[in-house]
Amino acid sequence: MKTGRRVFSALFVPALALFLSLSSVPAAQHEAHRLYVAVPGIRNYLQYGGVGILVYDMDAGYKLIKRIPTWDVPSGQSAENVKGIAASAKSGKLYVSTIKRVACFDLITEKKVWEKEYDGGADRLAISPDGELLYVPSLEGPHWLVVNARTGDVIAKITLGSGAHNTIYGPDGSRVYLAGLRSPLLSVVDAKTHAVINKIGPFSNSIRPFTINGSQTLSFVNVNDLLGFEVGNNTTGKMLYRVEVTGFQRGPTKRHGCPSHGIALTPNEKELWLADSANSSIHIFDATVMPPKQKMSINLRDQPGWITFSIDGRFAFPSTGDVVDSHTKRIVAALEDEAGRPVQSEKLLEVDFANGKPVRAGDQFGIGRKQ
């Protein structure tokens, strides 16, 4: 009997210890990947999704989950163009700007936290990596506002007189890049002092959409009258290359008046994707060489005016509502609203959740993430 008890003890005690250790391990987190699309994101055209924030399930073939209300459109008035979208997983907030206002939404409750109108209106805003600051350009006006992201209060004002428009917060939070659509210079601002510390260019024409690499050493810009892009050295401030699309002709564009309005780096920075409005196409360049080398094109269902990527880089999101597998280069989904109508928007990004809480937020710009 003593031998039996020793055997039982030898088997039971380790088993009990294993059970207790396993029971103390937290349950595996369930992740959900959501695409947030602000509309009307093509001018104020309601036929491409109406008014609100459309939320899609990226794990279920981009099925529409819900519509988050944003603003009512008074009878007899036009809807306000959505100009930008930004989000922070750290603060759990989502921000949408229109030509008149900026609103903050809680990503968990989906309730509006604050809403403010700013002098000069608002354009494509950007958020700091820690979720504490917003840079809000006036609507093609003279200045940018630095705004407390928690309250909407104005902290500082940066006046450049360039036609304030597109804005990128550097991935490390140290610099902010300001592009006015009436200037060939890309201004670089110190995110602590809010003072201009460098200017990149001049490029050959006024800057439209642009992006940067993860180390913030290079900028890739669309400019007026160019089917292609130009590359700048962010350290020296010099323009390095002008790259023109080959094999395609320029033609009429529905919007923006710019042959290429949309440019994005894949997160791993191996490719650069470029919009071609007249040809309803995306042109893909090898970005592992400089200047980037054109290698293939993808036809879309309409004229693109913007491009961004999923956080992991698996999918590209042109503003046409096509969802493109970035590996196979095939269109794998097309965004639709509740009525089955095609959705298009230049203002969209991904937010990931774990056990119902935001853990990662993408960016409306296709910024390189390689450090």
* DSSP character string of 66-111: EEE------TT-PPPPEEEEEEETTTTEEEEEESSEEEEEETTT--
CA atoms of 85 and 8, how far apart (whole Å):
63
CA atoms of 132 and 122, how far apart (whole Å):
18
Q: Which amino acid is at 186?
A: L
At 187, list the tokens. Answer: 């201004």
> Residue 4: which region, alpha, beta or left (left: phi > 0; alpha: psi -120 to 50)?
alpha
pLDDT on residue 21: 46
SS3 (DSSP) at 310: coil
Q: For the domain bounded by 27-73+81-361, which CATH number is listed?
A: 2.130.10.10
Q: Which of 15, 53, 139, 31 is nearest to 355 (CA)?
A: 31
Mean pLDDT for each 10-residue chunk of the chain (371 residues)? Answer: 46 46 52 98 97 98 98 92 98 98 98 97 98 98 98 98 98 98 98 98 98 98 98 98 97 96 98 98 98 98 98 98 98 97 98 97 97 79
CA atoms of 178 and 185, how far apart (whole Å):
9
CA atoms of 188 and 4, how far apart (whole Å):
77
pLDDT on residue 297: 98
pLDDT on residue 134: 98
∠ CA(352), CA(356), CA(361), 5° rounding? 20
Q: How many CB atoms lie within 10 A of CB 173?
A: 14
Q: Which amino acid is at 196?
A: V
pLDDT on residue 10: 47
pLDDT on residue 16: 46
pLDDT on residue 36: 99
pLDDT on residue 28: 56
User: Pairing relation of β-strands 154-159 and 164-169?
Assistant: unpaired
Q: How many CB atoms lie within 10 A of CB 240?
A: 13
At 341, list the tokens. Answer: 């109508």
Q: Which of 48, 98, 56, 95 is nearest to 77 (CA)?
A: 98
Alpha carbon of 97 to those of 116, 286, 327: distances in Å? 10, 33, 32
Q: Which H helix or E strand runs over 210?
A: strand 207-212
SS3 (DSSP) at 207: strand
CA atoms of 199 and 1, how far apart (whole Å):
87
* DSSP character string of 44-74: T-GGGT-SEEEEEEGGGTSEEEEEE------
